[in-house]
Amino acid sequence: MQTNIDFQGLRVAVTGGTSGLGLALVRQLTGKGARVAFVARTAANVERVAAETGAHGIVADIGKKDDIYPIAMQVTANLEGVDVLINNASSLGPVPLALLADTECEELEAALAVNLLGAFRLTKALFGALAASAREGRGALVINISSDAAVNAYPDWGAYGASKAALSHLTAIWDEEAKPDGIRLLALDPGDMDTPLHALALPDADRSSLKAPELAAAEIIKKILNALPVRTALPAGGLA
């Protein structure tokens, strides 16, 4: 494992950054000295997390096509580029969860809009900035948050599981295609976490059996360490 990387100056974008895993990532990354921009839909929550962490908050909806390029422009303008993109924002689809036969087409579309198309569109919009970061020797990494529902056929989880399965396969293909540009893409399953999204899906779940999002965030940060090139502290404008 690489141990001589410094997060100072690392430029990271996180979607779904005001609760659960996304919030834990924003807190831990800013705490390590990274420059972070995060996206969420609710202005009051964005303002609160930005004030707490010093990260740049962006009020937008990953599931809306027209929001994607404004997000990408704000990320690159405020971070002066981007080294790591974490596509974390997720939608369950139907709430409460439902069998596929009872899932409305619009509910499936909602899950796909956020979990698949949102991640695809934002990655595509930031692809040039990520490639530039790779050329500068900073490294470039996209982490797409997946789920065991992407590989296991859980009843009632059809919309969510299908969207995450598509995201995982898209990630694997894009990782192969992006090698000439120096960009790595990883799909990571953080496990069942004690988050508002999980509570929305399974309100009666035993919270003591669930992983703390802070632990999952720490594990993802270790993956970032392993995926990025070995380097010393990065100032805001480039290599040390």
Q: Please list the rounded mean pLDDT of every run of 10 residues in the chain (240 residues).
A: 65 98 97 97 98 98 98 98 98 96 98 98 98 96 97 96 98 98 97 89 89 96 90 49
Residue 90: per-residue pLDDT: 96
Residue 4: per-residue pLDDT: 43
Domains of the chain: 11-227 (3.40.50.720)
Residue 208: per-residue pLDDT: 87
Distances (CA, A) of 3 to 7, 230, 231: 11, 8, 10
Q: Please provide the DSSP assignment of 8-71 as one string.
A: TT-EEEEESTTSHHHHHHHHHHHHTT-EEEEEES-HHHHHHHHHHH-PEEEE--TT-HHHHHHH
- Sign of the Cα torsion 41, 45, 48, 53 reads negative
Residue 6: per-residue pLDDT: 67
Residue 205: per-residue pLDDT: 87
Q: Does pTM surpass 0.85?
A: yes
Residue 231: per-residue pLDDT: 56
* Amino acid type, 212: A
